[in-house]
Every structure is written in C-alpha cells, then in structure tokens.
Amino acid sequence: MASKFSAGLALFFLLASVAVLIAVAIVQVHKRSYESPGLRYGIVLDAGSSRTTVYLYQWPAEKENNTGVVNQTLRCLVDGPGISSFGQDAIQDQKTWNSMADCINRTKQAVPLDLQSSTPIFLGATAGMRLLRIQNETASDEILRSMEKYLRSLPFNFQNASIISGEEEGLYGWITANYLMGNFLERNLWNAWVRPHGAQTVGSLDLGGASTQIAFTAPLDEGIGTEGYTRVRLYGYEYNVYTHSFLCYGKNEAEKRVLAALAQSSSSTTVENPCFPVGFNTSMPAANIFGSPCTQQPPSYDPGQQLHLVGTGDPAGCRAIVQSIFDLASCHGRANCSFAGVYQPDISGDFMAYAGFYYTAAALKLGSSFTLEAFNSTAWAFCSTNWTSLKENYAIREIYLKSYCYSANYVYTLLVEGYKFTADTWNNIQFKKEVKKNSIAWSLGYMLTLSNMIPAEAKLLRLPMDNSVFAGLLFMFSALAILSLMFLIISLVRSCY
C-alpha cells in the first residue's frame, strides 16, 4: 500500500513538474509574441515666449495607451527668440529659421525613414504668442500660417499649429509631472496596470518667460463654484484640477514691469536698479521695456530713448520693487485669493516646480529641496554680492547672471505672497528640471492628450512576464523535477522489498 502511495505521489510531482515546464514554454512563446515590433514617435514644438524647443518622444509600439512608457529621446533648443518675435529683425529671423532646420534635421535622423510619415508633429505656442495676439492679431495669424506651411513641408504627419490657452498650458504641465511620476497608473504584482494605492498627485508650478501657471487637485467648494477648476478623466478616474495662468507674470515680462516701475520713478534717464549687482551697468532703448503690452507706456514715451541702468545691489530694495508689481491689495481680507483678485483654493499636497523655478534655484546653488529660510538667506547673500565676484563664482552667462537677484525675489513673492506657501508647505516643493531624464514641460502632456495616448477609461492590461517571473517558474520546475525523481527512486526501492 505504501509503495502504491509513493508511486502515486511521485507521479503527481512528475505531472506537476511537466505542467510547470509547459507553463514556462507558454510564457516564452507568449513573451516572444509580445516582443516589440518597433518604436513609435511623436514630435512637439514648444513655441515659448523666449525660444522654441523641439521635443522628440518615443514609445514601444505594442504599449500604446499605457502609462510610463513614453520617453523623451531628443530635446533641441532653437537659437534665437520665440516665434512671436518674427518680423522684427530679418537677420535674426533667418538665424532662427536656420537653427530650427538644424533641430528638425536632428529629429529626422532619429526617426526611421519608414516611420516618419506616421509620426505626428504638433506645434503649441504659449504666452508670447498670446500677448502678440492681443497686440496684433494679424501678425500672430501670419506667423502661425508660416509655421504650419513649414511643418506641412516636412516628412512627418502634421497635426496642428495653434496657440494654447494659459489654463491648457497649466493642465498639460500637471499631466506631464504626474505621468512621469507614475501617479496615474502603476504595475501591480500581477503585471497589470492599476491605480496607485492612495492615488496621490503632485501639483505643478511652471514659470515661463511671459506667463506662470499653477495647477493642483483640490476639492470643489460648492459655496464658491467651479471657477478655475477643470474636471479631467484619466484611466477611468476623475480629477478636479484647479489651474490658473497669470499672463504678464512670466519671469521676463515681470522683470520688464519692474524696470518700468523704476524708470517711471526716476527723474532722469539714469535709473538705479536695486536688483542689479553693484558694478553692473547697462543701457537699453526704452522700447525694450515699454514696447511690451505688459507695461504701461508713460505719457512722454520715446521708443528710441536710451535708459542707463545702474545696479545698487540692495536685497531689501529689490524685494520691495518686485512686490510692487503684484496686486496683493485686492486680496486683503479675502479667503482663497492669490493676487490680482484671483480665486485660489488652499494649497495642499506636494508640488513640482520646474522651468524658471528650477533655474532660479540652480543659479543660487540650491538643491531640489530646501527650506524657505535657506532660500531667503541664500538670495540675500547673492543680491549683496558685487558683479565682479558673481562672475568669478558663478558659471552662468552674464545675460542671465545679472537678473538672478530679481528672479529670487520674484520667486519668493509669487510663491509666498501670491500662492500663499508657508514655511511648512514650502517643504513640499521639489525644484526639478526632469524626471528619469524626461524634461518636465507641458509639451509631453500636450502630446499625450492630443494623440489619445492617455485613455479616459481604465484598462487593466496584462503584460508579458518579465525575467524575474520566468526565473521563478524555472526554479519551481527544477525543484518539482528533483522531488519527483526522489519519490520515484524511493518507490522503486520499496517495491523491491
């Protein structure tokens, strides 16, 4: 009886090991059937106020509509100002076109020839073009037509060339940050895409040259309404995203407003600037300041008049003049108000600060996370340093170095006085340029949305088993095979007696 039991047990283990072996074989066949048939590509031209950036993204062809698979493979900065400056300087325009052609050629080289015709290409213009449209709609339309004509001439699949709204820019930036962080979906132990436990998202803080955007999830306040909220549905889940864009409060345009305030308070063409370091002096035509729709032209405005700017390196004076361009008084006594009378729910959760925020922190030699006190003390020391010492100690181009005292005070005023970050909630901000070698920019969220790479409904997609799963099955097969062999030997020995 015992020998029959041993033989049966041995047969069971043998059959089990064969089943595991068959499973391993099926997994390998299944895995081979899922081997990537190639890559797919998408191109976005981020036509910003200060420059145009060409992004090339790629993803495995069989993983479309999943998350965490789209990666940035090329980022090319176009030399020269943004497209909103086209038509102001013919020589500069030609240089910009030549540089753009170089970026496109690099993109062509990165995309296989047989895939170029199916590769979508998008152009999204932001605050620089929004300002131009306000100032001269005919000129902005002409620039967009010329860009569309150029993009249609390329071997790619042209999709659109348009000006996006500030709220769209903020929302796309929020999508990018959370997509790269894996906050929408993650793979569970069974290799299925599921919503992460807790489903936390990060807020987005974007600082460009002509506008700045804030976006974060917040519960709707029924007593106030839905002002500033966008309800988005991603992978079957809804998110209430508050987003607002402040036009004319981008880093470059806000600095023009600071210079305009200083110039109008000066009794001569020599203007003392507390945000410029001691020892730095420069001259510029008044048109560089007052030619923007973000600044008010004084009654005696002469575009050709030269203004002589003299740096005084006064940290307190710089903060005071920067704060003066923010309409903070309109929010006094009002709850849930940032500045300029704009409604904003209470700040909550973690935030990702990128673009101009990141570059300001990097210029001050701060890391990705630091206290508000550390930021203030570092900014104060920077603003108190003379021009000669700054040039010796900071490897930053002079055209940017001169303005980082202003930038630091601008970032402080916007985040603390405007958005109402406190010393505690400031610690929830990460100042970052990229995540996993992918730039944090609205362009990725824009492409994902317009190309339907993020579906509105949830999909639990089974993926081929990876090497760790295969190794586990192989180990199980080996163990069962050894056990079956042992029981078979035992049964044979017992049958002899």
The identity of residue 330, as a single letter, is S
Is residue 444 within 8 Å of residue 70, measured between CB atoms? Answer: yes
Specify the pTM. 0.84
pLDDT range class, residue 433, cuts 50, 70, 90: very high
* Model confidence at 488: pLDDT above 60: no
Q: Return the higher-pLDDT residue of 392 and 449.
A: 392
Q: Return the higher-pLDDT residue of 484 and 161.
A: 161
pLDDT digit string (tens) for 457-475?
644 333 333 444 444 544 5
* Model confidence at 230: pLDDT above 70: yes
* Model confidence at 21: pLDDT above 60: no
- Residue appearing with tokens 């600082």: 207
Structure tokens at 429: 């901000």
Other CB atoms within a 10 A radius of the CB of residue 477 amount to: 19
**Cα atoms in the 13 Å half-sphere on the side-chain side of 209:** 19
Task: Please state the rounded mean pLDDT for residues 476-487.
Answer: 57
Q: Return the higher-pLDDT residue of 152 and 436.
A: 152
pLDDT range class, residue 61, cuts 50, 70, 90: confident
Q: Which residues are known to be catalytic?
A: 169
pLDDT of residue 317: 98
Helix ranges, 284-368 (H): 287-290, 315-324, 356-363
pLDDT of residue 234: 85
* Model confidence at 284: pLDDT above 70: yes
What is the DSSP annotation of 206-246? EE-SSEEEEEEE---BTTTB-TTEEEEEETTEEEEEEEEEE
Q: Return the higher-pLDDT residue of 35 and 385.
A: 385
